[in-house]
């Protein structure tokens, strides 16, 4: 499914320059085999190494040249260990939060890009949870570098990573209300109080002599 904007229109006198805009929307269903590239090999290896593959994977999506495995949250750690130990995905490049308010029962998503340095391959894991129960198992014990990334996703989106060694805010003050990157977070200026500090005029902030 795609939605076209002003780009590409003909005969209307539109000179805005927006003619080629086209937004692609990924299907909510699993992609069909063959996936192409090395994606089929990864799926085959994972199925052989992890007998509960079909129970753990909600769907497999190939879109824009990327393979995404949608994982049930209760199986996330198991799948991550298999990918690290058996398929040699040694690096997790962090976790990103996504908020889809209209995706009822699956409003909060966590996305994990994985890299196999051994095989020069990349895939993504994605876990979806309801806003009313925003708990996902921590992967810090699998990939230690996820520590600060999970804290940031907790801070910005409110996803709670169970088992994290110290899940505290990392950008906002501990008593900050709400999670600033959620789509229901109010827009507009927020007053900031500087205690015992002044902001000098721009021409006084640095000497260029």
Q: Is residue 111 part of a domain?
A: yes
Paired residues of 3 in beta bridges: 23
Residue 80 lies in a domain: yes
pLDDT value of position 1: 47
- Let me know if residue 81 belongs to a domain: yes
Instruction: Examine residue 30 and state whether it is found in any structural domain, yes or no.
Output: no
- Considering the domain boundaries, does residue 123 fall inside one? yes
- CATH code for the domain of 164: 3.30.460.80
Number of structural domains in the chain:
1
Predicted pLDDT of residue 187: 76
Domain that holds residue 80: 35-182
Distance CA 162, CA 107 (A): 18
**Distance, CA of 83 to CA of 69 (rounded, Å):** 11
Report mean pLDDT in 10-residue bins for the chain, 209 residues: 51 53 62 93 96 94 95 97 98 97 96 97 98 98 97 98 96 91 80 63 57
Task: Using CB atoms within 10 Å of the CB of residue 133, give its burial: 0 to 12 exposed, 13 to 18 middle, 19+ buried.
Answer: exposed
Give residue 29's pLDDT: 81
User: Does the model's pTM come out above 0.75?
Assistant: yes
How much is the pLDDT for 192?
59
19 is a domain residue: no
Say if 175 falls within a structural domain. Answer: yes
């Amino acid at each position: 499914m795609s939605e076209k904007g002003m780009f590409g229109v003909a005969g209307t006198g539109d000179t805005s320059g927006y003619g080629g805009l086209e937004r692609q929307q990924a299907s909510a269903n699993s992609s069909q085999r063959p996936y192409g590239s090395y994606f089929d090999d990864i799926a085959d290896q994972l199925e052989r190494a992890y007998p509960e593959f079909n129970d753990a994977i909600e769907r497999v999506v190939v879109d824009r040249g990327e393979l995404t495995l949608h994982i049930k949250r209760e199986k996330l750690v198991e799948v991550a260990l298999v990918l690290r130990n058996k398929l040699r995905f040694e690096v997790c490049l962090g976790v990103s939060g996504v908020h889809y308010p209209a995706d009822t029962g699956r409003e909060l998503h966590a996305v994990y890009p994985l890299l196999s340095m051994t095989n020069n391959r990349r895939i993504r894991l994605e876990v979806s949870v309801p806003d009313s129960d925003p708990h996902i198992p921590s992967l810090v014990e699998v990939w230690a570098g996820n520590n600060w990334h999970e804290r940031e996703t907790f801070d910005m989106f409110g996803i709670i990573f169970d088992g994290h060694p110290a899940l505290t805010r990392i950008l906002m003050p501990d008593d900050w209300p709400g999670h600033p990157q959620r789509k229901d977070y109010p827009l507009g200026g927020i007053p900031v109080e500087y205690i015992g500090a002044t902001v000098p005029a721009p021409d006084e902030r640095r000497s260029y002599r």
